Amino acid sequence: MPANPKIAVIGLGYVGLPLAVALADKFSVTGLDINENRINELLSGYDKTGEIDSAKLKRSTLKLTTKKADISGFELYIVTVPTPVDDKNKPDLGPVIRASSLVGSVLQSGAIVVYESTVYPGVTENIAANALEAASNLTCGQDFYLGYSPERINPGDSEHTVERLTKVVAGQTPAVTEILEDVYGAVTTGGVFKANNIRTAEAAKVIENAQRDINIAFVNEVTMICQKMGISVYDVLDAAGTKWNFLSFKPGLVGGHCIGVDPYYLAHVATTFGHNPKVILSGRLTNDSMGNFIADSIASRMPHSGMSARILVLGLTFKADIPDLRNTRVIDVVQKLKASGGIVSVHDSYADPLEAKSLFDLELLNEMPHDSQFDCIVGAVSHKEYIGLTMDDFALILKPGGLVADITGMWRNTRISADFSRWQL
């Protein structure tokens, strides 16, 4: 491996683009994405994910392409494609297999192929390796080598960026691990941790998000209990949080491309080894049911029932202040409220209206309404512009007697007039 290897990053989404830009500061890097519109946007200096600003993108030496010929014969390939689940919550490794076949078709002897996509232990060395061998007619471990370095990008997080994260790396051989340590170590101040082997690194990644999912599920179950007792879970958590070793987790909707998905990868591999992952799947069941619980709680408190109820939902993305709609569970609330007879409108200033239409057949409002025609306003996502809403704003949106429903706790300290009602977790 030369001192300045040619690196190709496959997949330029929330994970791949920040990584490619960071690596391009130190190495010769080409980023490939099969989405031509995505490449054209990036070439114009626009990143719709909001992870890289226009000035930084335009300054970068990163080369962009949709053509596999442009990455032929490189020394290092890093695959950062999505790893979703299907409609039965089974791992969908199609993107990884297709990316592996693409890389394999341009692979030359001596190259290293690293995977950052979240997978269960064994995928890199078995499924991905097989696809690489089939496309390249080369032998894994002899003609080319594998590596794994789990991504830890948190969309919208300006503090825990790829340049500051601790990177876990593992190579097929000790020599490959050393190379990966040098490459990733050149772009992060957070240090590099060398895992014992690839399967260990794969397992470390998949349990990181499963652990968080289980902790949120516990708080969500406590929330349901508190609702039945007529007390606020936020008040309970404030009190409990004064204990030095109490873990701080908040209730709510668990979506996105990691926490709501990765536990299913861990559960899948557990079952293949004959283990019934009771805790993991119980957490998933609780969190996946949260949308219906919230919608039912809101519907039962509506000042009007049936088709007469007009509801404004604020926020659709899976977390605050980003445009990411992947696996957002706000849609569960929207659909259940509609099924309950409500006429639901949705506003989200971050989300792409075309994407919302494509994914959910949902027409987003172009602007915040101010016509006092809604029976209920639902704070679903804590976008900055929603946090600052006041009673005067609510009065412009709601009919007299309307309901202010706060899913995220962003209006806990906002004064609500006696002319309106309030509900919160």
In this structure, the strands spanning 6-10 and 192-194 are unpaired
Residue with tokens 């590099």: 192
DSSP state string for 285-350: HHHHTHHHHHHHHHHTT-SS-GGG-EEEEE--SSSTTS---TT-SHHHHHHHHHHTT-EEEEE-SS
- What angle, 0 to 180 degrees and rounded to 10, lies between the N-to-C axes of helices 290-299 and 330-339? 40
Q: Is 140 a catalytic residue?
A: no
* 140, 226, 258, 376: the active-site residue: 258
What number of other Cβ atoms are within 10 A of residue 238's Cβ? 11
Residue with tokens 């929603």: 386
Q: What tokens does 84 get?
A: 């979703």
Q: What are phi and psi of 114, to 5 degrees?
A: -110, 140
Nearest to 313 by CA among 377, 248, 406: 377
d(CA 217, CA 285): 8
Q: Quick one: DSSP state of residue 383?
A: -
d(CA 170, CA 263): 22
Q: What tokens does 3 get?
A: 């001192």
Whether residue 342 contacts residue 311, with contact meaning beta carbons closer than 8 Å, is answered with yes
Q: What is the largest CA-CA distance in the chain?
A: 74
In this structure, the strands spanning 76-79 and 112-115 are parallel
Angle (nearest 5°) at CA 18 between 13 and 22: 150
DSSP state string for 72-121: TT-SEEEE-----B-TTS-B--HHHHHHHHHHHTT--TT-EEEE-S---T
Nearest to 33 by CA among 82, 67, 66: 66
Nearest to 188 by CA among 18, 379, 403, 11: 18
Q: What tokens does 258 get?
A: 């990691």
Nearest to 325 by CA among 291, 292, 348: 348
Q: What is the sign of the dihedral through the CA atoms of 266, 91, 100 and 50?
A: negative
Q: What is the sign of the dihedral through the CA atoms of 116, 280, 157 and 85?
A: positive
Active site (catalytic) residues: 258
